Amino acid sequence: MTDKDNIMIEEFFKQAAQQQIEDNGFTERVMMNLPETSQERVRRLSRLWTLFCGVVGIVLFFVLGGWQIAQGLFYGGLRMMLGWLEVFMVTAPTTEFSVNPWVVVLVLAFVLVFLPYQIARKLYVIQ
């Protein structure tokens, strides 16, 4: 097709797009009376399957002792972090460049506690 044909087609569709036809709610009534499509059925079954698997997963988590494992992982990580912090506080003053360990701890606390709090607060206000 040439540019002239493209221009003519665009003009035709511009005119057609400007026309408005009143249907007095006919389209909505037709859409409400259409039978359920297979895609909607698949989506509903998918949601039910997801809900079923989630419930089974939560039940298995508690029945098989997942809470104790998660608690052990948390406490192990906490002990490791406190051990790292203790080593850092002891060895930081002995480095070649002067580092005040308390400043590092305060900056770390700021990043890990205050900033997430501020972000969560701002997100809550926006919603």
Q: Convert the pLDDT of each residue in 74-101 to its tens digit.
A: 999 999 988 988 887 788 777 676 777 7
Which pTM does this prediction carry? 0.40
pLDDT on residue 49? 95
Distance CA 15, CA 58 (A): 58
- Note whether 101 and 92 are within 8 A (CB): yes
**R_g of the chain computed on alpha carbons:** 32
Residue keyed to tokens 């900033």: 115
pLDDT on residue 60? 94
pLDDT on residue 23? 80
- Note whether 75 and 81 are within 8 A (CB): no
Ranges of residues in the chain whose predicted pLDDT is under 70: 1, 36, 95, 97, 125-127
pLDDT on residue 1? 57
Fill in the DSSP letter of residue 25: T
Fill in the DSSP letter of residue 96: S
